[in-house]
Amino acid sequence: MTTLADQILLELKQIGDPERASQAQRFFKTAAGEYGAGDIFLGVRVPLQRGLAKRFKHATREDALSLLKSTYHEARLTALFLLINVYNKAEKRGKTQIYEDYLAHVAYINNWDLVDSSAMQIVGHYLADKDRSPLKKLAQSKDLWERRIAIIATYHYIRDYDFQDTLEISEILLQDKEDLIHKGVGWMLREVGNKSQPTEEGFLRKHYQKMPRTMLRYAIEKFPEALRQAYLKGEING
């Protein structure tokens, strides 16, 4: 019997582009020893995946979780779009179930675009009016993707001028060894600065000299050039 997940996967395969898939294999670092090692791409553009998720808006939580276990990257991203749709329509108990499902399936949310397209919408949203200590636990995980989920989820709060969790998790991740964490933290700090540059600078003045260079560059990307250079040259006093 053909399931809805099977149907969606078939459509993704039909619209895949082998040349785009080959490019994605390199871009998402799928070689042995790289962060996306072993991931397989079909070559489907993200807008087409979003369109597919919109067309199958009747998909259930079970459909989304089934598709999420696919070996194909685009199928997993489409599954997350479906899961967000289900989450948005769910009542309180349903949202709790999807939040728990999400964290139980991190093994399949295993690349930065998968995290960035879903962590804020599910984890960030769910914990907005609750104890947010699970974010601190995720930030201390040995799993790269759980740590990235922790920082990206806080984007939900930044949009509401609530910066505390972003700053606390950034401090936890300050000495992380992974470049993808450096980029994620720097990005979120930059978003804090977009809302309140004094808040971001308060954090940077305390920590910038011991930050990984990539994290700092991402964080100060939109600063005026003179100020940006002063941070890069270590000329800012704490």
16 to each of 77, 87, 98, 141, how far by Cα in Å? 14, 27, 29, 35
Nearest to 128 by CA among 94, 164, 103: 164
Give the pLDDT score at 50.
Answer: 96
Amino acid code (one letter) for 46: V
Domains and CATH numbers, the chain: 1-108 (1.20.1660), 118-238 (1.25.10.90)
At 223-234, the pLDDT tens digits run 999 999 999 999
In DSSP terms, which residues pair with 40 in a beta bridge? Answer: 72
At 41-99, the pLDDT tens digits run 999 999 999 999 999 999 999 999 999 999 999 999 999 999 999 999 999 999 999 99
Q: Report yes or no: 144 and 29 within 8 Å, Cβ to Cβ.
A: no
Give the pLDDT score at 164.
Answer: 98
What mean pLDDT is predicted for residues 106-124? 97
How does the average pLDDT of the chain come out, rounded? 96
Residue partners of 205: CB distance under 8 A and separation at least 6:
236, 237, 238
**Is residue 66 helix, strand or coil?**
helix
Give CA–CA dist 32/48, Å, rounded.
29
Give the pLDDT score at 141.
Answer: 98
